[in-house]
Amino acid sequence: MRGIPQDLDIRSPGSLAEALDVLGREPGAWQPLSGGTDLMVLHEAGVLGPRRLLDLSRLEELRKTRVAPDAVEIGAGCSYMAIQEHPVVAREFPMLAQAARETGAWAIQERGTLGGNLANASPAADSVPVLMAYGATLRLSSRSGDRLLPVDAFFLAYRRTALRPDELITGIVLPRREYPVTYFRKVGARRAQAISKVVLAGAGSWEDGGLECRIGIGSVAPVPLRLRSTEDTLRRWAGTGDWQGRATDCLMDEIAPIDDIRSTASYRRAVAANLLLAFLRRAEAARG
């Protein structure tokens, strides 16, 4: 049965402090609402969990991007369009801007937020592999203060995260550094306006003869994955023997794709291997 708007209790706090106070007083009773591009789909389908929504869309504190000498912190309420248009983000983190451009139609990009994409915890989230590749850290806030958590430690199981009932994602911290090798590719039924069949992002550099890199991948497991074993293989073996084949074999051991309405497990495995090899060929070219 579809939900109806009259069923919803919506509260719009005037500040971040007020929002955190509401969550702190009644943990788990309120469902945070940011862009609503996923939440309203659940509402229309009649499967929305808590019927009490905490509307964060008007909180200016969550829509700011702060640039410091060593890091850029993107507010969790920043839209995909704002990410594309921010000059520092577009220049220094182009994979994130590209992922934002390929997420849905313009209406979704204007409304959907980076924090909402993370909290939704979809294995197919386009932004998450990019954030893993860039070494992002999430700022999780509650009445008792903030804590920082690496993005690759945030996803615990299918649609389950490390976010506590009294917490909000308030910022995404990206360290500012040079990435001589970067690669992002989303494979779906269309270039955009489609959920990914496989999405992969990698960033790194050659150091001491090995390839130091971070690689994130989506749509091939119950959660978005950071390919730590594959990264370790490249750190030790890149540039020697059949290092690309060795890395691909390691990738196959790390992922666990399934058959679903969008694709098959075998197709996802083949595409994941091809995307990894594309990243490694780019790395090899950068090595000179």
Residue 143 has pLDDT above 90, yes or no: yes
pLDDT in tens, 52-111: 899 998 999 999 999 999 999 999 999 999 999 999 999 999 999 999 998 876 677 877
- 173, two tokens: 């911290």
DSSP string, 59-88: -GGGG-EEE-SSEEEEETT-BHHHHHH-HH
* Fold of the 181-287 domain: Enolase-like; domain 1 (3.30.390)
> Could you confirm whether domain 5-55 is CATH 3.30.43.10?
yes
pLDDT recorded at residue 253: 98
pLDDT in tens, 235-250: 999 999 999 999 999 9
pLDDT recorded at residue 4: 44
- CA-nearest of 173, 194, 184, 39 to 104 is 194
Q: What is the CA angle 80-86-91, rounded to 5?
A: 110
Residue 8 or residue 220, greater confidence:
220
* Fold of the 60-175 domain: 3.30.465
Residue 271 has pLDDT above 70, yes or no: yes
Residue 3 has pLDDT above 50, yes or no: no
- Record the pTM: 0.93
pLDDT recorded at residue 47: 55
- 129, two tokens: 């592999």
pLDDT in tens, 204-217: 999 987 999 999 99
Q: How far is CA 269 from CA 43, 224, 265, 281, in A?
A: 33, 15, 6, 18
Q: Give CA–CA dist 17/14, Å, rounded.
A: 8
DSSP string, 147-214: EEEEGGGTEEETTEES--TT-EEEEEEEE----SEEEEEEESSSSSSS--SEEEEEEEEEETTEEEEE
User: What are the residue ranges spanned by the domains of the chain?
Assistant: 5-55, 60-175, 181-287
* Helical (H) or strand (E) element with 10: strand 9-11
Q: How confident is the model at residue 192 (pLDDT cuts 50, 70, 90)?
A: low
Q: How confident is the model at residue 20 (pLDDT cuts 50, 70, 90)?
A: very high
Mean pLDDT, the chain, rounded, equals: 91
Q: How confident is the model at residue 12 (pLDDT cuts 50, 70, 90)?
A: very high
Q: Which of 2-6, 232-236, 266-270 has the lowest mean pLDDT?
A: 2-6
pLDDT recorded at residue 132: 98
Answer whether 5-55 and 60-175 agree in fold.
no
pLDDT recorded at residue 72: 98
